[in-house]
Amino acid sequence: MSAQGEQRRALALAMVAAVGAATITPCIARAQDADAHGSELMDKDGRYGVQLLRDGDALLLTTTLNWSLPDLVQDALLKGIPVHFIAEAVMLRERWYWSDQELLRAERFMRLSYQPLTRRWRLYTGSQPFEGQGLGVALSSSFETLQDAVQAMQRIVRWRIGRTADLLSSGSAILQLRFRIDLSHFPRPLQIGVLGRADWNLLVTHRERVDLSQFQ
């Protein structure tokens, strides 16, 4: 990697450490029998990690992101404050002579809330921010326990993150995954109180190199 790339990576790691975020960067190795139109990646113990598949012109991602809700976030949920989350997937082509080229980007928006009257958890999931369009266009699910709701959020299945036509026909790219709490949706007084506090923050990141020729 170039000196410029090393500097960017060091800066990104420093920013993560500054907010006290929990970062997951598992050791990944490519499976020997990868699908002809995709790849399945395993961690060092042979457990399922990240899967990229081509379905027609769509690039689909399946993975499980392991994380835990901070205690203060759980308390806010139980008090009736909805919490918003954002999952991001970005494919980058590294360039030594310029900044990295973004080949594709996808975002998934989630809103989790607790309903005291029914004692159930409600999760909304959509591909667009909820502002301005309400929750009517989002997929809604109901759960009996917070654990069930969290497991549903951790598990991402066949997420369309872009078109294979937007990828290069050969070479490699960097897949970056990011999952975080969107603090901007908290009530204004609460935003001021939680800004910069590690016990409110949740940030999960993962980065790996992908062979692009398998998607052509």
Domain that holds residue 84: 3-215
Give burial (CB, 10 Å; 0-12/13-18/19+) of 74: middle
The total of other beta-carbon atoms located within 10 Å of residue 52's CB is: 25
> Into how many domains does the chain fold?
1
Residues 7-43 have pLDDT tens digits of: 444 434 333 333 333 333 332 323 223 333 444 444 4
- Predicted pLDDT at 48: 45
pLDDT at 190: 60
Neighbours of 73 (CB within 10 A): 20
Q: Let me know: does 153 contact 85? Beta carbons within 8 Å.
A: yes
Predicted confidence (pLDDT) per residue in 95-130, tens digit: 888 888 899 999 999 999 999 999 999 999 998 887
Matching residue, tokens 């909805």 = 82
Name the residue with higher pLDDT: 70 or 47: 70
What is the pLDDT averaged over residues 131-158? 86
Tell me what the mean pLDDT of segment 159-181 comes to. 89
With beta carbons less than 8 A apart as the criterion, state whether 23 and 16 touch: yes
pTM of the shown model? 0.73
Q: How large is the average pLDDT for residues 70-74?
A: 88
